[in-house]
Amino acid sequence: MGVQKISRERSDLLADVGEMYYNQGLNQTQIADQIGVDRSMVSRMLSEARKKNVVEIRINRPLTSDRFMEESLISQFNLHRAYVLTDSSEDNQQLLQRLGSAGAAVLKEMLAPDMVLGLSWGTAVSAVVDAVEPDEPIPLRIVQLVGAMGAQNRAYDGPGLVQRMGQKLGCEGYFLNAPFLVDDPEMAEALLENHNVREAITLARQCDLAVVGVGSTEPQFSSFYKAGYVPLKYLYDLRTVGMVGDVCGRHFDLEGETPELEFHKRIITIGKQYLRTIPYRMGVAGGIGKVKPILGALRAGYINILITDNNAAEQLLEMTS
């Protein structure tokens, strides 16, 4: 259910009450005296403000990492860098937010003027964008690596992510103005010849750094499926031929082999050979359900910076020891 609409006057009043309580430190009795209502009304107004997103509470839990596991992953998979969150016993949404914060912290250290930054799509990349807080504008270019998924997924679709990151960094975004998946290979070839699409793909191939999510072919972990982009049968067909996950829509098996599936001929995205040549490829994914997809992505060479959690890292190291 979406956030209920409220009048501008009511919204302003709820915001005033929220500021007095959370920013000014007034208690509910003091606020009641100021606005001429009883204390119980103030309590209800604070609850309403949170429910309707007039007040949003954000808890910045300190990030801690497992240095030993990071070094082990770097050595095992020849990574440029790894960040392994510790104490990852929280639910999936909390883990996703913390992975985003970790990814944003690493990204902040790496961003530099005149860089080309590529973004894929998905909830993990969105969590990184949400957590990015630059100290000052950074003059770089941001490019969309994967075609658009659809209007229903704007929060973590490629165009929205590029736009939000551009606003945060104060820089220009370049959009891949095409759908991710089309009906047949001929349509995909035609779109790739379009001037605007070709211009974005050309810039994508010049990326210095890419931030990507790691998809899964398991229905409960598949963003493609949850977004309604592919039917359940398609995931079944992928698993039947050994596919465990994808990066930028490019599927692979547990050994990192990336066959040219019929699906790949109908997608608008950066080519796998160009993805592998981006100097820094940051993959953000965690949880036990993403272990096999992460392993396949590492073996495929799609990732050389890994942001994950200690549970997933432990499983990765056990599977390759």
- Euclidean distance between CA atoms 82 and 67, whole angstroms: 9
Q: Mean per-residue pLDDT for 183-206?
A: 94
280 in Cβ contact with 110 (< 8 Å): yes
- Euclidean distance between CA atoms 229 and 239, whole angstroms: 17
Which amino acid is residue 21, in one-letter code?
Answer: Y
Predicted TM-score of the model (pTM): 0.81
Band (pLDDT 50/70/90 cuts) for residue 144 is very high
Band (pLDDT 50/70/90 cuts) for residue 1 is very low
Helix axes 123-131, 92-110, angle to 10 degrees: 60
Q: Mean per-residue pLDDT for 95-114?
A: 94
Band (pLDDT 50/70/90 cuts) for residue 214 is very high
CA count, 13 A, side-chain hemisphere, 22 = 17
Band (pLDDT 50/70/90 cuts) for residue 151 is low
- Euclidean distance between CA atoms 144 and 118, whole angstroms: 6
pLDDT at 61 over 70: no
Secondary structure of the chain: what % helix, strand, coil (to 5)?
50, 15, 35
pLDDT at 195 over 70: yes
Q: Structural domains in the chain? A: 8-51 (1.10.10.10), 67-319 (3.40.50.1360)
Kindly report the CA angle at 150 between 144 and 154, in degrees rounded to 5? 70
Q: Mean per-residue pLDDT for 185-211?
A: 95
142 in Cβ contact with 162 (< 8 Å): yes
pLDDT at 262: 86
- pLDDT tens across 255-293, in order? 999 888 888 899 999 999 999 999 999 999 999 999 999
- Euclidean distance between CA atoms 177 and 29, whole angstroms: 54
- pLDDT tens across 42-57, in order? 999 999 998 888 888 7
- Euclidean distance between CA atoms 34 and 25, whole angstroms: 14
